[in-house]
Structure 1
């Protein structure tokens, strides 16, 4: 959420546990989060599945599900999906699932994270915001004596 950057995604014709596990695994590989990171999701059965819960536990991540009937808990991701649909999916007529998968991955990597401006980030794209933040706000180290 810090930079509004999409770091893990997967696509499939269904919403089974394997789909969300693949997306989370990509995010873990890209970010290598420290134990204790909160992973927020909605209340879908795929997130409550044994496979997803085991993946969270294996990496020391903490699952946090939306409150029942409260779409605001997941507003940032809901907005991303709306943008994805308006800016890409509804503008295309995909021949098959493979074409859609390739095009949506391109949207995420080449446009959304790299070019698309976000008002909450001072009108920077996520990659530029992260780069700027790393320069202006370096991570502090503390010495344990």
Structure 2
């Protein structure tokens, strides 16, 4: 995410995976890979993308930030 050797190099990615592990993976057990993939997809789309805000994207919801990036590109 940042430059090599930067203290905050992977901070956003580590924050995401810590939330995923704490909110979903530690609370559930899955019978198959398909069930796990569906649960992770649902968690991201239904909870994560709608809740947290981050300073790196001016505290916007991630889904709004993605839409604004797409509008700038096209």
Both structures adopt the same fold (TM-score exceeding 0.5): yes
Residue 130 of structure 1 and its aligned partner are, at CA, apart by 4.7
The 5-angstrom pairing of residues 104-123 of structure 1 reads: 104-113=40-49, 115-120=50-55, 121-122=58-59
Structure 1 contact 112–125 (Cα < 8 Å) conserved: no
Higher strand share: 1
Q: CA RMSD in A?
A: 2.8
Aligned residues: 68
Higher helix share: 2
Higher relative contact order at CA 8 Å, sep ≥6: structure 1 or structure 2? 1
1:128 alignment partner, one of 50, 64, 71: 64
Structure number, greater radius of gyration = 1
| Long gaps (5+) in structure 1 | 1-39, 42-63, 140-145
Structure 1 distance, partners of 2:14, 2:36, is: 19
Aligned to 1:103: 39
